[in-house]
Amino acid sequence: MTDFSNTIAVCPGTYDPVTEGHLDIIRRSARLFGKVVVGVVKASPRKETLFSTEDRVEFLRQSLGEEIPVDAFDTLLVDFARKWHARALVKGLRAISDFEYEFQMAQLNRKLAPDIETVYLMASPEYSFLSSSGVKEIAKYGGNVDDLVPAVVAGRLAAFFQ
């Protein structure tokens, strides 16, 4: 078995907002790798964010504590990984639909940085249905998201959609 205790990994995402599923992937990654850095995408080309970059970073910091660094970026993911001397990118997969997009991104990242591996962790069963967009929709219509997101996020969503 390979020892990853000296390997730095990056868990990238928009985290708009961070969910319990995201936190599960990050925490499981931290058990596998020597150091995990959470990379928050400042502006996604795929979607507009509800929360500011600063809010998203703060939600993660409050949820994860001091052991796992959180940093925002607006560069190529592989350049962000190099900044942190990371050798792995960790992504969570919920379903086949996630895989199609992630496979394409992994191949592009491999072309740009063949020395950085992409590693996928399957979502834990209790989070396999969970998405940030689903959480926002539930909150928008007054549903309870308390067990889907950290308390700080649930409070902000409730305030935002009042």
Catalytic residue numbers read 22, 47, 94, 132
| Torsion sign across C-alpha atoms 120, 122, 124, 126 | positive
Identity at 108, one-letter amino acid code = L
How far from chain centre, in Å, is Cα 116? Answer: 18
Cβ–Cβ under 8 Å, residues 150 and 18: yes
3-state helix, strand, coil split of the chain in percent (to 5) is: 45, 20, 40
